[in-house]
Amino acid sequence: MTQNFSQSQQLTHLDAHGEAQMVDVSGKEQTRRHAVAAAQVRMLLETFEAIQAGNAPKGDVLGTARLAGIMAAKQTSHLIPLCHPLPIHKVEVQIVPDAQLPGYQIQAEVVTKAETGVEMEALTAVSVAALTLYDMAKALEKGMVIESIRLVSKTGGKSGDYLRQGQGS
């Protein structure tokens, strides 16, 4: 299901004067919300091989990036204006080597039971995991590219389910 913005949809984060506001979700029912996001980090083959061999100067690149992604999901409301603080019930970050890039595929899954969704938490998790991977390996290569940060799927809430179609899902 793909949703396109139409003029009939109201911008919920703007008040009558066009000023940013936090949406009041207190009248919404708490339901299970689930979101998956993904990203990738592309690098030189030599950099990829060094990380895979555990030869990065800063230590455990992938473990540190995975933990940073988990921590970031839990801090999303402190980082993104107007995001609600949510009771996060699950955050899982996976970083999978991809020799074809070469580099890494990053995926985050976030679950809550709340009045609003966790898409931003999943997107924040993959973004910070990718940034941390870059930081941990920048001594090996400064030309790494973080790319294709995207929402893969989400379930729950009034807007319904979403599943990314096509390339990059």
Q: Domain boundaries in the chain?
A: 32-160
Share of the chain above pLDDT 90, in %: 71
Do the Cβ atoms of 107 and 94 come closer than 8 Å? Answer: yes
pTM here is 0.86
Distance CA(134)–CA(141), nearest Å, equals 9
The pLDDT assigned to 1 comes to 42
Rounded Cα distance, 116 and 23, in Å: 10
Q: Which CATH number fits domain 32-160: 3.30.70.640, 1.10.10.10, 3.40.30.10, 3.10.350.10?
A: 3.30.70.640
The residues assigned a catalytic role are 135
Q: What pLDDT band is residue 19 in, cutting at 50, 70 and 90?
A: confident
